[in-house]
């Protein structure tokens, strides 16, 4: 069962939240940002090449042109493979753990799986960033020595930065599954 809703990110860009329920204790929540626009790509490339032509006209050295082409290609590859995140998803499997995946524009996926035993809670935090107050969802990890303590905070959806309404939806879905683990041990 899947559903999609449109939201806005903290900077006003439209994003979509897709929720899928695979089973009673397994949910996948994916936030997809806007794709790379042809407009901005051509604008950046033209700017770099105009600058290169300007330098060539000044210095009469053709190495400038080949260097510009090289830089554009390398820069594009680095941007697509390391910087531009298309989709960030959260897979919550009750009793196994939480998996956070970021998919880049080049197709690369970087995944982190956090076991349920290490997860203390999933909360929405507020932070002051420059002149704004932003909300972000994060996973609190348990400190093995201190049952009340938090050893690490793992922030989620760092690049798509959804607003509070989207975060509340994600938070509710996660908490439904996390609550199951509190009730489950008694039944065993």
Q: What residues make contact with another protein under the rule CB under 8 A?
A: 22-26, 28, 91, 93-96, 99, 101, 111-113, 115, 117-118, 144, 151-152, 184-185, 187-188
Backbone phi, psi, residue 62, to 5°: -75, -10
Assess contact for 116 and 97: CB atoms under 8 A: yes
Considering the complex, state which of residue 66 and residue 110 has its C-beta at the smaller distance from another protein: 110
Considering the complex, state which of residue 47 and residue 83 has its C-beta at the smaller distance from another protein: 83
CB of 76 to another protein, least distance (A): 22
Considering the complex, state which of residue 132 and residue 182 has its C-beta at the smaller distance from another protein: 182
CB of 116 to another protein, least distance (A): 8
Considering the complex, state which of residue 37 and residue 186 has its C-beta at the smaller distance from another protein: 186
Token pair for 127: 């932070």
Distance CA 44, CA 127 (A): 32
CB of 109 to another protein, least distance (A): 8
Starting at the edge strand that comes first in sequence, how are the strands of the sheet with 85-93 ordered?
2-8, 14-23, 26-32, 85-93, 97-104, 109-115
CB of 55 to another protein, least distance (A): 31
Burial category of 72 from C-beta neighbours within 10 Å (exposed 0-12, middle 13-18, buried 19 and up) = middle
């Amino acid at each position: 069962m899947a559903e999609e809703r449109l939201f806005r990110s903290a900077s006003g860009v439209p994003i979509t939240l897709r929720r899928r329920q695979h089973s009673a204790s397994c949910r996948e929540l994916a936030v997809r940002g806007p794709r790379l626009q042809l407009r901005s790509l051509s604008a950046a490339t033209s700017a770099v090449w105009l600058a290169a032509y300007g330098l060539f006209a000044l210095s009469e050295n053709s190495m400038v042109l080949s260097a510009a082409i090289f830089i554009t290609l390398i820069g594009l590859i680095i941007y697509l493979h390391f910087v531009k995140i298309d989709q960030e998803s959260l897979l919550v499997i009750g009793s196994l753990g939480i998996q956070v995946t970021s998919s880049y524009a080049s197709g690369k996926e970087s995944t982190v799986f956090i076991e349920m035993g290490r997860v203390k809670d999933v909360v929405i935090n507020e932070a002051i960033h420059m002149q704004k107050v932003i909300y972000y969802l994060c996973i609190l990890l348990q400190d093995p020595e201190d049952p009340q303590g938090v050893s690490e905070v793992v922030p989620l959806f760092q690049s798509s930065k959804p607003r509070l309404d989207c975060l509340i939806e994600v938070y509710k879905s996660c908490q439904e599954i996390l609550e199951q683990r509190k009730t489950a041990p008694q039944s065993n």
